[in-house]
Amino acid sequence: MQISKVAIVGAGTMGSSIAVAVSGSGFPVVLKDVDEEAVRAGLQRVDRLLASMVKKGLPQHDAESQRALIEAATNYEAFPDVDLVIEAVAENLDVKRVVLKELDDNCNVHAIFATNTSSLPITLLAQATRRPDKVVGMHFFNPAHLMKLVEVVPGLDTSTDTARTAVEFGQALGKLAVRVEECPSFLVNRLLGRYMNEALWCLQEGVATVEEIDRAAVEYVMPIGPFALRDMNGADVGLAVARYNYQEYGERFKPSPILEQMVKRNFLGQKSGAGFYEYDRETRKRSGPNPELSEVLTDVRALRAAVPSAHHNPETDQLARVLQTDFSQPETAIHASFRVERLFLPMINEAFLVLQEKICQAEDLDPALMAGLGMRKGPLTLAAEIGLADCLRQLEELFQRHGERFRPANLLKRYVWGGRTTVV
């Protein structure tokens, strides 16, 4: 299907940067929000983004032409001739359902609705309309005008034509548009979640400090360490995501209690002035590690003390075992035991689980992770570099020691049994 005119509902952080991405490729855009004030704030964001692009070399004239393509709206008057609507309102099922129903009533029957949800099921959202075949997930990354990846997620009822149109539209924006089958957190955030969690477990066990873990991750393949990233996104957002993944996927996504403690103490990261690091509230510049973090770790250790030994609880018993083992080691021995692969093995293993579930094509996986997270190498390349047999061996050892987070994916075993050394 040919896309000539686009609308974006929700002119917040994502809506405004998506408007810049879409207008940048020459599409006229209607940018709608609830009232004049919200729309004005959205347009101001658009202007700020365009101004920063001009500073980086976009000709002023091009920025003005791009801006002229964006029309603001507080109602649906301009929607009947729109071909594609990108829904970017708050991450709330009820709010999104109301918006999708309104769109269904106000748009041409041919129009496609793409939702930018990060976590809500596309299949469920599609049911708010009489056109579930024309509803698809288009998961942009923040900031959408700069990030190269868009995950295109069809729901159960999404037609082939709708999914294809969404992929082609993503490509028309100059993005890497990767088709991802519907699953909680989709592809990139699902894999990211495993790595972010593991960083917390490493910290909890005392195998390395915040700075050591961040430095190791950056030296290995990441543009930013897991704790600096957590501080950027906010521990409260991180906790909600971690709980959601745990609820959907079970034990291997079990969040470390550190995250809950951080939220309790308002160590949310940059926005509250302190997280894993301390920040200047005005400039948000990092000033050093958060000295109170040791209290958080002490609280988590107290959890161990609170575990009644006579009462058998596999979860807390395991935690107690882990904490007992690792905190009782001398400092040097503890640090010597940290290997950066430990952070990435859960992500690599999840990549094999994703392929096992046929969530995406194997050849799309590394490029998606690289474009979505800025990794210098994707998890399948890392797996091949470590050696698939070695990955399996390390996972088996870690599984013996820590349980479910490291249960090796059956597909990885099959690759090793089959003597493969690479995945793609």
Is residue 185 helix, strand or coil? Answer: coil
Concerning whether 75 is annotated as a catalytic residue, the answer is no
C-alpha distances out from residue 401 to 31, 326, 396, Å:
52, 11, 9
Interface residue with ligand NAD among 33, 133, 151, 205 (CB under 6 A) is: 33
Token pair in block for residue 233: 């996104």
H/E run at residue 205: helix 188-205
Compute the distance between CA of residue 47 and CA of residue 32 in angstroms, rounded to an integer: 16
Q: Using alpha carbons only, how large is the chain's radius of gyration in Å?
A: 23
> How much of the chain is in helix, strand and coil states, percent to nearest 5?
55, 10, 35
Concerning whether 248 is annotated as a catalytic residue, the answer is no
* 151 contacts ligand NAD (rule: CB under 6 A): no
Compute the distance between CA of residue 129 and CA of residue 234 in angstroms, rounded to an integer: 33
* 38 contacts ligand NAD (rule: CB under 6 A): yes
Name the minimum Å distance from CB 50 to ligand NAD.
Answer: 18
Q: Which stretch binds ligand NAD (CB under 6 A): 6-14, 164-172, 271-279, 344-352?
A: 6-14
Question: 16, 23, 116, 118: which one is catalytic?
Answer: 118
Name the minimum Å distance from CB 335 to ligand NAD.
Answer: 34
Q: Which is nearer to ligand NAD, 140 or 344 (CB)?
A: 140
Query: Within positions 175 to 204, which residues make up the interface with ligand NAD, using CB under 6 A?
Result: none
Question: 189, 245, 272, 349: which one is catalytic?
Answer: 189
Cα angle for residues 190, 255, 201 (degrees, 5° grid): 100
With the CA atoms of 335, 340, 343 and 348 taken in that order, what torsion angle do they form, in degrees rounded to the nearest 10? -150
Interface residue with ligand NAD among 4, 44, 108, 142 (CB under 6 A) is: 142
Q: Which is nearer to ligand NAD, 300 or 369 (CB)?
A: 369
Q: Which is nearer to ligand NAD, 186 or 201 (CB)?
A: 186
Number of residues that bind ligand NAD (CB under 6 A): 22
Q: Which is nearer to ligand NAD, 140 or 352 (CB)?
A: 140
* 91 contacts ligand NAD (rule: CB under 6 A): yes
397 CB-contact burial (10 Å; exposed 0-12 / middle 13-18 / buried 19+)? exposed
Name the minimum Å distance from CB 140 to ligand NAD.
Answer: 6
Concerning whether 139 is annotated as a catalytic residue, the answer is yes
Name the minimum Å distance from CB 102 to ligand NAD.
Answer: 7
Is residue 135 helix, strand or coil? Answer: strand
Query: Within positions 109 to 138, which residues make up the interface with ligand NAD, using CB under 6 A?
Result: 116-118
Name the minimum Å distance from CB 115 to ligand NAD.
Answer: 7
Terminal CA-to-CA distance of the chain, rounded, Å?
Answer: 32
Interface residue with ligand NAD among 34, 68, 333, 336 (CB under 6 A) is: 34
DSSP at 256: P
Name the minimum Å distance from CB 149 to ligand NAD.
Answer: 11
The conformational region for residue 147 under phi > 0 = left, psi -120 to 50 = alpha, else beta, is beta
Interface residue with ligand NAD among 13, 52, 123, 337 (CB under 6 A) is: 13
* 9 contacts ligand NAD (rule: CB under 6 A): yes
Question: 16, 87, 145, 151: which one is catalytic?
Answer: 151
Token pair in block for residue 275: 């997280």
Q: Angle, to 10 degrees, between the axis of helix 188-205 and the axis of helix 210-220?
A: 140
Question: 139, 145, 197, 278: which one is catalytic?
Answer: 139
Q: Which is nearer to ligand NAD, 90 or 336 (CB)?
A: 90
Name the minimum Å distance from CB 141 to ligand NAD.
Answer: 6
Compute the distance between CA of residue 365 and CA of residue 381 in angstroms, rounded to an integer: 10
Strand partners, 114: 86, 136
Q: Where are the alpha helices (DSSP H) in 25-107?
A: 36-55, 60-68, 93-106
With the CA atoms of 255, 248, 372 and 359 taken in that order, what torsion angle do they form, in degrees rounded to the nearest 10? 140
Interface residue with ligand NAD among 7, 8, 14, 107 (CB under 6 A) is: 14
Token pair in block for residue 215: 């430095």
Interface residue with ligand NAD among 89, 210, 354, 371 (CB under 6 A) is: 89
Name the minimum Å distance from CB 350 to ligand NAD.
Answer: 19
Concerning whether 410 is annotated as a catalytic residue, the answer is no
Burial state string for 141-153 with b = 16 or more CB within 10 A and e = fewer than 16: bebbbebbbbbbb
| Residues involved in catalysis | 118, 139, 151, 189
Which parts of this chain interact with ligand NAD (CB under 6 A)? 9-15, 32-34, 38, 88-91, 95, 99, 116-118, 140, 142
